[in-house]
A = this chain, B = another copy of it.
Amino acid sequence: MRREGRTTLREVAEAAGVSVATCSYVLSGRAGRTTPLPEPTRRRVEEAAQKLGYKGNTAARSLRRQRSELIALVYAPPVGPWLDRLTMQCEDIAAAHGYSVIGVPVRRLDRAAQSLRVITRGHVDGAIFAPGLSDDMELTAARRSTRALMAFSDHLDLEGVDVVRNNVRQAVADATAYLLGSGRERIAFLSHATPHDDRYAGYADALRAHGLDADPELVRIGAASREEAVVVVRDLLSSPNPPDAIVSESDRGAFAALQAAVDRGFKVPDDLAVIGTGNTLEATYSSPPLTSVGMYQLDFTEMVEALFARIDDPTRPARELSMPWVLNHRDSA
Contact = CB atoms under 8 A, between A and B. Distances in A.
B91 A111 contact: yes
Given A91-B111, A102-B104, A70 B1 contact: yes
Contacts of A84: 77, 107
A264 interface: no
Interface string A74-96: 00011100001001100110010
B103 A68 contact: no
Given A1-B147, A105-B87, A285 B77 contact: no
Contacts of A242: none
Contacts of A88: 107-108, 111
A82 to B, nearest CB: 12
* Secondary structure of the A contact surface, majority rule: mixed
Contacts of A111: 88, 91
A63 B111 CA distance: 29
A64 to B, nearest CB: 9
Nearest to A88: B107
A262 B258 CA distance: 15
Nearest to A280: B78
B103 A2 contact: no
A6 B124 CA distance: 14
A246 to B, nearest CB: 18
Interface stretch (A113-121, A167-175, A293-301): A113-121
Nearest to A94: B117
Interface in A185-214: none
A6 B144 CA distance: 9
Given A84-B107, A123-B58, A114 B102 contact: no
Given A1-B68, A63-B60, A121 B100 contact: yes
A91 B77 contact: no
A161 to B, nearest CB: 13
Contacts of A77: 77-79, 84
B56 A122 contact: yes
Contact of A314 (B3, B120, B122, B124): B3
B70 A118 contact: yes
Nearest to A72: B102
Most buried by B among A66, A88, A122: A122
Contacts of A159: none
Closest 7 A/B residue pairs (Cβ) = A103-B103, A59-B62, A1-B68, A2-B122, A100-B118, A59-B63, A102-B102
Given A55-B120, A59-B60, A100-B117, 19 more contacts: A1-B67, A2-B145, A3-B146, A3-B147, A55-B121, A55-B144, A58-B68, A58-B122, A58-B123, A68-B123, A77-B77, A77-B79, A78-B78, A88-B111, A92-B114, A101-B117, A103-B103, A103-B104, A103-B105
